[in-house]
Chain A
Amino acid sequence: MARLELRNLHAQVAEGGEKILDGVDLEVRSGEIHALMGPNGSGKSTTAKVIAGHPAYEVTDGEVLVHLDEEEFEDIEIPEDMRTVNLLDLEPNERAALGVFLGFQYPAEIEGVTMVNFLRTALNAKLEEREELFEDDEGEEAEADADDEDAGYDTSPMEGDVEEGDVGVAEFQEIMAEKMDQLDMDTEFAQRYLNAGFSGGEKKQNEVLQAAILEPSIAVLDEIDSGLDIDRLQDVSNGINALRDEQGAGILQITHYQRILDYVEPDHVHVMLDGKIAKSGGAELAHQLEDEGYDWVREEAYETA
């Protein structure tokens, strides 16, 4: 079980740009679904990107903490003094290794890199990074020696280095086929180039597929519902529910619309206004927003301020 905690988070566009986050406080635990709603420009996507470590933003104050249990990852026991980590000290890939996943609203298209090779490389990179983050010094030296002895590829260059403990090609293909089946994706996707030429819906489905394979503790999904037709919306929603129900992931679902919340029922709903959480509540809050818009929240927020 992990817990993601944003404490008084302030952020601006890098190199002295516009201030966007103005003290965000938020907590998401594994197994919970949170919806983060709010009008355009309120800072929802920035929150997601700052959590994942996007270089375009600079954090000026506050913390993004991940609290881990000792048995968070298979085979790795996390020492007591390392169970709370400030993500702001880590590179994006290290954050991913700790189990934080960002589902993109506009995922990059990478030509020439097949889905299957990319995802296997990512999975192995993440497992390896985890070991590096938590092993003691002695272990690190052994790891460094092992790296030195790796003199190239054992198989194809497009498949990356083969090292002991890695998920192999055949094993990975099985994992991927199973997850794709759950999401009702065509198996030919495995051989397509990462997001290249994918429709909007396919891209969103692909983001959920990646989460299913990388098994995050916390998944931040940035407007994963935009541009989906009703069938696709259901597939994607099933995938999100499975992340929680089968893998125990905590979900922070960023959305404009109530629509997806009919399928992915949130435990908590937060409204973001002007770079802060202005109001939090249960699933009923989303319905109220759908009916009445955001103005009343704004009025309420400024009255109490």
Chain B
Amino acid sequence: MSSDQDHLRETDSEARFEFKKEESSAFRAEKGDLDEETIRLISEDKDEPEWMLERRLRALRQFHAMPMPTDWPGQPDLSEVDIGQIVPYIRPDIDTRGGVDDWTDLPEEIQDTFDKLGIPEAEKNALSGVGAQYESEIVYQNMQERWEEKGVVFCDMDKAVQEHEELVKEHFMTNCVPASDNKFAALHGAIWSGGSFVYVPEDVTVEMPIQAYFRMNSEGMGQFEHTLIIAEENSEVHYIEGCSAPQYSEFNLHSGGVEVFVGENAHVQYSTVQNWSKNTYNLNTKRAICEREGTMEWISGSMGSKATMLYPSTILKGRGATDNHITIAFAGEGQNIDTGAKVYHNAPDTKSTIESKSISKDGGRTNYRGLVHISDGAENSSTSVECDALMFDNESTSDTMPYMEIEESKVDVAHEATVGKIGDEDVFYLQSRGLDDDDAKQMIVAGFIEPITEELPIEYAVELNRLIELEMEGSLG
């Protein structure tokens, strides 16, 4: 076989998600060491200020005090989640504390990893900034100077603790996602590591999406990255995160935290396409607080994982604030994707829309779990929730649990849910035009998720479609 063909086989997209690298790490907290000592070690290794250590330790106590969630109707089974089996923190064996500026300065194996995921191409295609996280640290980032001149900050979260201490101290897990929010937010608060920090000053519009890519590469490790986005008055930013994890026999836990502060009349879009290995438990807490006339948009594609529990939420705090959610979930054999959205209308004239789509096949289970809360006094608020489920077969399941808590009478509330099997008539129609059975189904699914793909930059749309194609062929295993 020629070397060209070798190359083609190597870049075969199926292989992109299956390979893994020999782990080489400089610092590794031992499995099961989830005690104060470990937390102190992590904090010390990162050279953190005292207040951050205190927050970590308080979160650890809260984590140990809280029970596992077990009593939600239809919730994923978490009985196999054994925190003692998780390696909470790994730092790659390179000196990348502040990130490197040039792609070619990265070790070859890391370049190679990202190469298979197509990141250099994305970079080549004139994306404005890339921050890529390998294991728990940001190892590469590239930001255009003109943003820096305008005061925009985009760096890894550990660096932000050092260089933007006041901003972080004020916003980090204080009033948006406190560690006390839920057991996994508490776990996250104790052992978080890495992630992104974005700060956009007043009146600044960042025209191109800011992107970060996370990847888990070590067996049995947990990943606990924190994303903090602060958009000041009249600013605008689109943040995109992509995730992918290779397959392992041992289970993994991902428990990220995302906090977004949308200032008055500001506009933040947070988009993510995540594909976790089939043994990952994906338990995240993501929340935004939206001030007067501000707009928050969540776009998310959840693929892979054994179980996902994820309900991005927005608190519409100021008058006239708006929130839009578009989510998509795909569950195959043995998977339970429990996802949805939460919106709190706490001020008058606030608006929200939730559009949720799910696909299940081969006995996979998807749930839409949503909450819309309209407080007393949130007059003239409106919400619209739309859930569509598409199933491939009779073994798959999909449930819709749209909770609505309406305390104000002058509001407009709409909810619509559809559940359907991929229609034989639809497939036949496309087949009669020349598409084979698989291509016909693929086209129907691609159309079904189109509202998501049209919101994403082309590279992410390609990846999402490719992932779903692979899932449908069953080649991701």
Contacts and interface: CB of A to CB of B under 8 A. Distances in A.
Contacts of A104: 429, 432
Contact of A112 (B13, B432, B447, B458): B447
Q: For chain A, which range describes its interface: under 10, 10 to 19, 20 to 34, or 35 or more residues? A: 35 or more
A113 B431 contact: no
Interface in B132-160: none
Interface residues of B, number: 36
Contact of B451 (A112, A123, A151): A112
Given A96-B433, A121-B435, A113 B446 contact: yes
20 contacts: A52-B428, A56-B424, A93-B432, A95-B432, A96-B433, A102-B432, A108-B425, A108-B426, A110-B443, A111-B450, A112-B446, A113-B447, A118-B433, A119-B433, A122-B433, A123-B434, A148-B8, A151-B11, A156-B461, A157-B461
Contacts of A153: 462, 466
A80 to B, nearest CB: 25
A34 B449 CA distance: 42
Contacts of B435: 93, 121-122, 125
B325 to A, nearest CB: 18
Contact of A157 (B433, B444, B466): B466
B448 A214 contact: no
Contacts, number: 112
B466 A152 contact: yes
A214 B433 CA distance: 8
Contacts of A113: 443-444, 446-447, 450
Interface string B421-460: 0011110111111111101100110111111010000100
A194 B435 CA distance: 15
B12 interface: yes
Contacts of A56: 424
Nearest to A56: B424
A125 B436 contact: yes
A93 B462 CA distance: 26
A123 B433 CA distance: 8
B5 interface: yes
Contacts of A92: 428, 431-432
A286 B5 CA distance: 63
B429 A108 contact: yes
Nearest to A111: B447
A54 B431 CA distance: 10
A237 B446 CA distance: 34
Contacts of B434: 93, 96-97, 122-123, 125-126, 129, 214
Contacts of A129: 434, 436
Contacts of B461: 156-158
Interface string A99-122: 001101001101111000011011
Interface string A120-147: 0111011001000000000000000000
B128 interface: no
A149 interface: yes
A26 to B, nearest CB: 19
B113 interface: no
A143 to B, nearest CB: 14
B375 interface: no
Given A110-B443, A121-B435, A158-B461, 4 more contacts: A110-B447, A125-B439, A158-B450, A214-B433
3 shortest A-B CB distances, which residue pairs?
Answer: A112-B447, A112-B450, A157-B465
Contacts of B426: 108, 110
Nearest to B426: A108
B446 A54 contact: no
A217 interface: no
Contact of A193 (B430, B432, B447, B458): B447
Contact of A107 (B429, B451, B453): B429
Nearest to A100: B432
Nearest to A150: B8
Contacts of A253: none
A121 B466 contact: no
Contacts of B443: 110, 113, 118, 121
